Amino acid sequence: MALGPRLDLRQSQSLVMTPQLQQAIKLLALSNLEVEGFIAEEMEKNPLLESAGGDDEGAPAPEPDFEAADGDPDAEFAIPESDAGGGEGALDMDANSENLHQDSAADAMIGPQSGMGMNDLAGGGGGFEDGPDFDAFAADQISLHEQLRRQAGEALSGADLAIAGAIIDQIDETGYLPVSLVDIAQKLGVARDDAERVLAAIQTFDPAGVGARSLAECLALQAKDANRYDPAMARLIDNLDYLAKGNLAALKRICGVDDEDMADMIRELRAYDPKPGCRFMSADRVDAVTPDLFVARKGAGWAVELNNATLPKLLVNRSYYNELASGPQDRASKAWLNECLQSANWLMKALDQRARTIVKVASEIVTRQEGFFRHGVSHLKPLTLRAVAETIGMHESTVSRVTSNKYLACERGLFELKYFFTSGIQSSDGGDAASSEAVKSRIKALIGAEDAAAILSDDQLVEMLKAEGFDIARRTVAKYREAIGFGSSVQRRRQKAIGRAA
């Protein structure tokens, strides 16, 4: 073979992720509230973007107007029923990235299904009804640390007040002191006895039980505050492990009380708060979840609507662009202005396609899980991302992005879109498979209805579920039982024994 230079021509295909495409993919995975923050950042960088909210900004979220699409076929943001399953405007960044259109969409009518109205919607962050503003109540509260510092300022002074401040800073949001008092005393350069004395004073503050270093100490402080800390109660608190195991015989022997006194002591103990600090507002308080979508019955079908109240109305100020473009400017300024216009136009297009894609995916979910919206979790069907993606003609990863951090509000409550994707349990009679969530719901109902004298074992649960058509293994029942927070049959029997004693 001769050696020498030569030219070869090769042809290949590759997907180039442009900054605009990356931005569109990022928007698809964000929730409505996160999109609102993203838009605010873009408005600061781009002078051609402006909000069209006007005086309505900051107003309460309006009720979703499902009548608009019904009364006027050309109403803004209306999608005809025929487009519900797969209009051409949906955004699929993986399988169809170049298929971008500029059609507006926020409503969808899907399928002639039956269902319920929205009169009693639970968790409606978008505001189907005006209810009490719980955030307003929380805003008037003070934090646990502020409450303790206020009491320390009234009860202590001088060096003791400084020690109290250091101890209060270490108390967590539940009201406990997780740090060693010896370490605090060493850091402050004070005697341990002084730190113990100041801590004892803090432990008399409101709420009762604050400043405790263990659950037993917390309960003891509350018993002392209620003037119920007698020797029998002290021995009961010192032996909480026996109470957790349901060993009432040993407790009665240790405390030296009869059945009636033991039941009274357990009842008193249950009235105490194991986390006294939680009643105060936390500095990192988690805000209520705001739904991204609303689902309601609409005539013979279902209406799916984006929660537009959480999305600012965005406009491209072309008048300002024309004013700037007509003035004197150099080449760099002209290029920057054109870049701002292109960026603004692309953002508007990406937001519009995001809306279409979310509604398209949610519409398919509602179609497939129509039984859930009619009858509840017992009728939830097994569903995978791939099944939805194949039906609506999108890539599976696109559906995954759409369902991330998105919440749907319906008559049955507030649910994450991921909630509707569950694995299946085969039917024992050869029928359709059942959702794992439906099986968990049935296990929860069976255990909740069991008699204290006849606690159901996992084997009995398996037999009962098989009689109802669920082909499920014992280990799967045990896994689901633990996932929904129920202990074994032995643990439940002991807990119910304690309940009867109380």
- Tell me which of 253, 279, 305 is where a domain ends: 279
pLDDT at 440: 83
User: Any idea what the CATH number is for the domain that residue 463 is in?
Assistant: 1.10.10.60
Residue 117 pLDDT > 70 = no
Residue 426 and residue 412 in one domain: no
In a domain, 383, yes or no: no
Residue 88 pLDDT > 70 = no
pLDDT in tens, 281-304: 654 555 577 888 999 888 778 899
pLDDT at 471: 76
pLDDT at 65: 41
Structure tokens at 95: 């399988």
Residue 439 and residue 466 in one domain: yes
- Scan for tokens 């090769």, then name that residue: 10
Q: Which residue has the higher pLDDT, 64 or 192?
A: 192
pLDDT at 328: 79
pLDDT in tens, 397-452: 888 888 888 899 998 888 889 888 877 666 655 555 667 777 888 888 888 888 77
- Cα 273 to Cα 262: distance, rounded to the nearest angstrom: 19
Residue 432 and residue 402 in one domain: no
Structure tokens at 458: 């996992």
The residue-averaged pLDDT of 7-22 equals 79
pLDDT in tens, 37-61: 888 888 888 888 888 754 444 444 4
The residue-averaged pLDDT of 475-486 equals 84
Instruction: Work out the mean pLDDT of the chain and round it to a whole number.
Output: 76
In a domain, 310, yes or no: yes
Residue ranges of alpha helices (H) inside 156-293 are: 158-170, 181-188, 192-202, 215-225, 231-238, 240-245, 248-255, 259-270
Residue 191 and residue 262 in one domain: yes
Residue 295 and residue 319 in one domain: yes
Residue 465 pLDDT > 50 = yes
pLDDT at 500: 64
| CA angle at 416 for the pair 470 and 365, rounded to the nearest 5° | 65
Which residues are CB-neighbours of 421 under 8 A, at least 6 positions away? 383, 384, 385, 403
pLDDT at 364: 92
Query: Where does the pLDDT of residue 124 fall: very low under 50, low under 70, confident under 90, or very high at 90 and above?
Result: very low
Residue 501 pLDDT > 70 = no
Which residues are CB-neighbours of 461 under 8 A, at least 6 positions away? 443, 446, 447, 477, 481
- Cα 89 to Cα 110: distance, rounded to the nearest angstrom: 16
In a domain, 368, yes or no: yes
DSSP-derived 3-state class of residue 414: strand
Which residues are CB-neighbours of 71 under 8 A, at least 6 positions away? none
Residue 243 pLDDT > 50 = yes
| Structural domain for 261, as ranges | 144-279
The Cβ of residue 316 has, within 10 Å, a number of other Cβ atoms equal to 18
When divided into structural domains, the chain yields a total of: 3
